[in-house]
Amino acid sequence: DAKTTQPTSMDCAEGRAANLPCNHSTISGNEYVYWYRQIHSQGPQYIIHGLKNNETNEMASLIITEDRKSSTLILPHATLRDTAVYYCIVEGSSNTGKLIFGQGTTLQVKP
């Protein structure tokens, strides 16, 4: 079973920041938080990951709470092409890197 809970769906206006929350209250100390997204009819795409510190790359920012029980993915200026299912995944305990996907959040970016 997935170790994360996410809202089923969210809307965001084009050009605004999209903030996608994720709860992972049972995360253990050596587990990472990953975010992937899946645009319709494509394979999943890696976005970002982190352990304890906040992370930023060219696609997004990841804010992890101090107790690590939740995190937020931020797309700073959402575009229509960001419409996708966003998956928050906690992994690291298996030492294999295999990902356990939940149902994710369907983000709809609207003009």
Partner 1 sequence: GAGVSQSPSNKVTEKGKDVELRCDPISGHTALYWYRQSLGQGLEFLIYFQGNSAPDKSGLPSDRFSAERTGGSVSTLTIQRTQQEDSAVYLCASSPDGSEADTQYFGPGTRLTVL
**Contact residues: partner 1, CB under 8 A:** 2, 30-32, 36, 38, 42-46, 49, 51, 87, 91-104
- Distance in Å, CB of 33 to partner 1, minimum: 11
Tell the burial category of 99 from Cβ atoms under 10 Å away from its Cβ (0-12, 13-18, 19+).
Answer: middle
CB nearer to partner 1: pick between 18 and 88 = 88
* CA-based nearest residue to 28, from 76, 67, 56: 67
CB nearer to partner 1: pick between 46 and 76 = 46
CA distance 105 to 20: 8
- Distance in Å, CB of 16 to partner 1, minimum: 27
- Distance in Å, CB of 5 to partner 1, minimum: 13
- The three-state secondary structure class of 27 is coil
CB nearer to partner 1: pick between 45 and 56 = 45
Residue with tokens 């992972």: 24
